[in-house]
Structure formats: C-alpha cells, structure tokens
Amino acid sequence: MPPSRKIAVYPGTFDPITNGHVDILERSLVLFDEVVVAIAVNPRKEPLFTLQERSDFIAEAVARNPRVVCDAFQGLLVEYCRERKAGFIVRGLRALADFEYEFQFAHMNRRLGPAVDTVFFMTDERHHYVSSSLIKEVAGLGGDISGLVPPSVERALIAKYARHTKGNPG
Ligand code: COA
C-alpha cells in the first residue's frame, strides 16, 4: 500500500494573516504534504477583511505554494478535517496564556474526532506577542507594522485605515 499523503488543517480567523501565522505555516509544510489554511467563519467576530481578501493575503504570503490550499469553513473543525481527509490540526503556541485554551481545544477536538490529532508549533520568539487584533489596533493608530505582517497585508491595512480616518476624528 503506498504511503498516504499527510494532510493538515491550519484553522483560524486570519483577519489578517500575520508573520507569526506565516512562520507556523511554513514550518508545518516540512511535516505535511498539504496544509489547508481554513478560514473560520466565526459569527462572534466581525472581520475587517472579507473572506476573499483574507484568502488572497494567505496565498500571496506563501507565494501561491501548490501545497497550501486556502479555504473557508463553518461548523465543527473536526468535521471539516474529515471532509478534507486531514489527519492533523496545526496550531501555534505563542505564550503560556495560549496553553490553557489550546489544551482544552485539543482535548475537545480529540473527543469529537479521535482520528484527528493536533500538532503544536512553538511560535518563533520574534512573533510571540503578535495577534491580528493588536496589528489592526496599531495600524489604525498609524503605528509601524512593517515586519509583523506580509507586505500585501501591510499595504491593505494602511489603505483601509487611511480611508476610515480621512478628515474625521470622531
Ligand atoms: N502568530 C500570530 N498570531 C497568532 C498566532 C500566531 N502563531 N496564533 C494565533 N494568533 C492570533 C490570531 O491572529 C488571533 O488574533 P485575534 O484574536 O486578535 O484575531 C488570536 O491569536 C486567536 O487565534 P486563534 O486561537 O487561532 O483563534 P481564531 O479565532 O483565529 O480561531 C478557531 C479559532 C477557528 C480555530 C476555533 O474557534 C475553531 O476551530 N472553531 C470551529 C468550531 C469548533 O470546532 N469548535 C469546537 C472546538 S473544540
């Protein structure tokens, strides 16, 4: 029997993708044949960027690598993994604060879908304080976000906030 392709799902909101996410994604490609970056449609979050924009940023960030598939999903993550024939979920751990949540998340997913295992990557020390919300906040206030997000994301954030704030402080 030929060895099967190792497929992993890397889920998140990716609003927008940061260099922290890119680092995890690139490292996961060393272990897996295909990584599906799965953008969660989360009704509790009001995204700044559309699904299409977020998907384009991801594709550009990995230079349209054919081993990276961008997709969106709704509902249970383990169900989606089953649909994609993925045996693994990729998650990044930034700090101790992430651990508690990730621990719960991984155990619940294992209970719901025992065939799917979670693989954690320790976030690179350069990105351990980065989150999408923090990036948006800093960009919105005119702060420098270069080096923290891919160039296309940086351009889009600058353009978006320039439009929002033009001549209107309130
Ligand atoms: N570098 C930089 N930032 C990172 C990061 C990294 N390596 N890893 C996570 N982050 C940031 C994200 O950008 C996000 O920032 P924000 O809250 O400011 O937007 C924050 O950390 C939280 O990220 P994450 O924990 O990945 O949450 P998420 O909302 O992006 O994704 C899902 C959570 C979608 C994976 C999860 O809710 C899910 O699977 N939902 C599906 C429903 C389901 O199955 N539920 C049962 C699960 S047991």
Predicted pLDDT at 170: 47
**Averaged over 19-44, what is the pLDDT?**
96
Q: What is the pLDDT of residues 65-112, one digit of tens each?
A: 999 999 999 999 999 999 999 999 999 998 888 899 999 999 999 999
Question: Which one from 28, 54, 127, 132 is the annotated catalytic residue?
Answer: 132
Atom 11 of ligand 1, residue of closest alpha carbon: 131
pLDDT reading at 26 higher than 80? yes
CATH number for the domain spanning 54: value is 3.40.50.620
What average pLDDT does the chain have? 93
How far apart CA 45 and CA 85 sit, in angstroms, is 27
In the reported structure, the alpha carbon of residue 122 is separated from the centroid of ligand 1 by a whole-number distance in angstroms of: 15
The CA-atom distances, in angstroms, between 76 and each of 38, 41, 80, 101, 157 are 12, 11, 7, 17, 30
Contact 39, 72 (CB under 8 A): yes
- Rounded to 10 degrees, what is the CA torsion of 93, 50, 133, 124? 30
Which of 144 and 43 is assigned the larger pLDDT? Answer: 144
When divided into structural domains, the chain yields a total of 1
Residue 102 belongs to some domain of the structure? yes
Residue 162 belongs to some domain of the structure? no
Residue 140 belongs to some domain of the structure? no
Share of the chain above pLDDT 90, in %: 82
